[in-house]
Structure 1
Amino acid sequence: MSSVQHIFVYRPVICRNFDMSFENIFLVEERFESDGYNQGYLIGKQKGIEEGKRLGQSKAMEIGTEVGFYSGFISTLTLLYTSQDSAKASRILKMIKSLSSSLERFPVTDVHHVNFFDDLKKIRAKFKQICSLSGISLETDVKKGHKILTF
């Protein structure tokens, strides 16, 4: 009879895999933290782009409404003061012409224009000068926060 002997052989491959598995378990927290950071960064970046787009659209509507208001305002004042023949009316008409030409040159569709906000400030200043000279006051409705014109 032959006897079969069982010999246990040390296999370093198994041991190496065991060490790698232990290392993977040990480093899982770092990996999850890194994955979470990367996913959070991408989600935050997308949310920032969306919020920036909404804010940009909102501000663009405000500026467009303001510029449109100024255009309508000077059209009305032009009709009003053209029929008058006085030194004050001619000064107001001259200022209206200046504001009108500023509005025509204003780059409404190009916010990246170098002087966009400077030009807008100049337009606002000219508008205030015209209001002051013609006796029109721009008041704020405290309850609603809206600006109203009084003649």
Structure 2
Amino acid sequence: MRSTRPSEQALFHLLLINEVLVHTKSEPLKYKKIMNSPPPNSKNLEDIFDSSVNLEETHFNEGFRDGFNDGLAPGKQEGREVGLKLGFEIGEELGFYRGCIDMWNAAILMDSHGRFSSRVQKNIKQMEELIEKYPILNPENENVQEMMDGLRLKFRAISASLSMKLEYDGYPKSSEVNRMEF
């Protein structure tokens, strides 16, 4: 036999109909309020499932925050170490080029036979200007890599013009560039 006891949903609808019939048309706001409110003693279904639907996203965001916070201090330390290492390497290379320029300029001053052509002297002067323009105190300059590449190219051109096999040891040779692994 079927139960004659009405469900909560049915009771809610009966109360709603009763409210509509009892009140006059001058209270439409109350009617809208009742129609839009959830049934008594029931939970909003959206609130129930929101936490389980967004569970993966919640865990992902929580893990990201934890990982970010845990990696912040070691990341700064590692960045500082890498920056010091690269800064030292660049300074060493610039010093090597500066030393070569100083030696070439000294040789030009003592050259009585004209072994240094005007073209080579011009290239040495241009390389000296490139070194002087290199932004040692402004590491955020976007042209730093292009300037260093220009210095390396100018150095190779001068070395070739002087028929010298002179290379900076800290920079990979052109034959080794293709074999580099990261």
Identify the TM-score tier after normalising by the shorter chain: 0.5 to 0.7
Maintained 8 Å contact 1:82/1:89: no
CA distance in 1: counterparts of 2:167 and 2:96, whole angstroms: 15
Task: Identify the residue that residue 44 of structure 2 maps to in structure 1.
Answer: none
Match for 2:136: what amino acid? V
Aligned residues: 116
Q: Based on CA coordinates, which of the two structures has the bigger radius of gyration?
A: 2
- Output the aligned Cα RMSD: 3.0
CA distance in 2: counterparts of 1:88 and 1:37, whole angstroms: 62
Q: What displacement does 1:104 show?
A: 0.8
Task: Identify the residue that residue 92 of structure 2 maps to in structure 1.
Answer: 65
Task: Identify the residue that residue 119 of structure 1 maps to in structure 2.
Answer: 147
Q: What displacement does 1:80 show?
A: 1.0
1:103 corresponds to 2:131 = yes
Compare the two structures and name the one with the higher strand fraction: 1
CA distance in 2: counterparts of 1:131 and 1:100, whole angstroms: 14
Q: Secondary structure at the match of 1:137?
A: coil
Match for 1:60: what amino acid? G
1:132 corresponds to 2:132 = no
TM-score scaled to structure 1, two decimals? 0.63
| 5+ long unaligned stretches in structure 1 | 1-32
Maintained 8 Å contact 2:135/2:144: yes
Task: Decide whether aligned partners of structure 1 residues 87 and 72 sit closer, same or farther in structure 2, where only a CA change above 3 A counts.
Answer: closer
Maintained 8 Å contact 1:103/1:123: yes
Q: What displacement does 1:98 show?
A: 0.7
Q: Secondary structure at the match of 2:138?
A: coil
| 5+ long unaligned stretches in structure 2 | 1-59, 173-182
Task: Identify the residue that residue 83 of structure 2 maps to in structure 1.
Answer: 56
Q: Secondary structure at the match of 2:71?
A: helix
Task: Identify the residue that residue 92 of structure 1 maps to in structure 2.
Answer: 120
Match for 1:110: what amino acid? N
